[in-house]
Amino acid sequence: MIAHEGSVEEIRDLQRAYELRFRESQAYRRRVWKILTQDFFQPLIPSSSHVLDLGCGWGEFINQIDAALKYGMDLNPQSRQKLASNIHFIEQDCSLKWPLGDRSLDVVFSSNFFEHLRTKADLRRTLGQIHRCLKPAGRLICMGPNIKYLPGMYWDFWDHYLPLTEQSLREVLEMVGFKVERCIPKFLPYRIAQRRNAPLALVRLYLKCPGIWHFLGRQFLVIARA
């Protein structure tokens, strides 16, 4: 989830923060992401796709999605150890030019990552790289905390920098040249793993009941085509 080019000390601090934040909940998060991937995201992503997970972290999504060619991008070198052997890891600042050809990807996926970028200019450059690398009509699928519904709580994570809503993200996507096909202001709850983790059966039920999202959702989901 590290999102900018930083010093060795900064990267070590962010690695430590990630371990403290997710180490104890890693097994539960992996099981939740298996459900999210199989029940919701996989139908959007054909198994023949070339997919890049932007801000791949510990690989909860990219390790479990079925795709012909898979990439994970992150500045955290620990990500390499967490990714499956069939995933190509790209360790770099996402706002710099990606080492991928034009129109080489079918899908770029990103979860809870854009808020870690330092500036709007970083996000704009990153979206430009996504648009360049996606094939015509290729999909960007992204979700993240919606500042509109998280006053105060948004800043509980010290490495959150960029506050976004579904509308502000939609606007910059359209500026870059994307066509937004789905924009949901409230999708998932803010935190997947909590002190009392929800039974996995409830996670499946939640995905099948969009009417509940309006009451419990605090993360946006935006899907756009290049």
Q: Is residue 159 part of a domain?
A: yes
β-sheet with 50-54: strand ranges across: 87-90, 69-73, 50-54, 105-111, 134-145, 219-225, 179-184
Q: Is residue 52 part of a domain?
A: yes
Q: Is residue 121 part of a domain?
A: yes
Q: Is residue 106 part of a domain?
A: yes
Report the pLDDT value the prediction gives residue 11, as an integer from 0 to 100.
66
Q: What is the mean pLDDT of each run of 10 residues along the chain (226 residues)?
A: 58 63 74 96 98 96 98 93 97 97 98 96 98 98 97 89 97 98 97 77 96 97 98
Q: Is residue 32 part of a domain?
A: yes
Task: Name the residue range of residue 73's domain.
Answer: 8-225
- pLDDT digits 0-9 by tens, 90-116: 999 999 999 999 999 999 999 999 999
Q: Is residue 109 part of a domain?
A: yes
d(CA 84, CA 58): 10
Report the pLDDT value the prediction gives residue 104, as an integer from 0 to 100.
98
Tokens of 223: 């899907």
Neighbours of 175 (CB within 10 A): 10
Task: List, as one string, the DSSP characters of 37-60.
Answer: IIIIIGGGS-TT-EEEEET-TT-T
Asked if 84 and 30 count as a contact pair (C-beta separation under 8 A), the reply is no
> What pTM was estimated for this model as a whole?
0.91
Report the pLDDT value the prediction gives residue 151, as an integer from 0 to 100.
83
Of the candidates 179, 170, 176, the one whose C-alpha atom is nearest the C-alpha of residue 224 is 179
Domain tally, the chain = 1
Q: Is residue 45 part of a domain?
A: yes
Tokens of 215: 């009451």
Report the pLDDT value the prediction gives residue 191, as an integer from 0 to 100.
83
Report the pLDDT value the prediction gives residue 40, as an integer from 0 to 100.
98
Tokens of 91: 């360790």
Report the pLDDT value the prediction gives residue 22, as an integer from 0 to 100.
58
d(CA 41, CA 55): 17
Report the pLDDT value the prediction gives residue 17, as an integer from 0 to 100.
59
Residue 189: CATH number of its domain: 3.40.50.150
Q: Is residue 1 part of a domain?
A: no
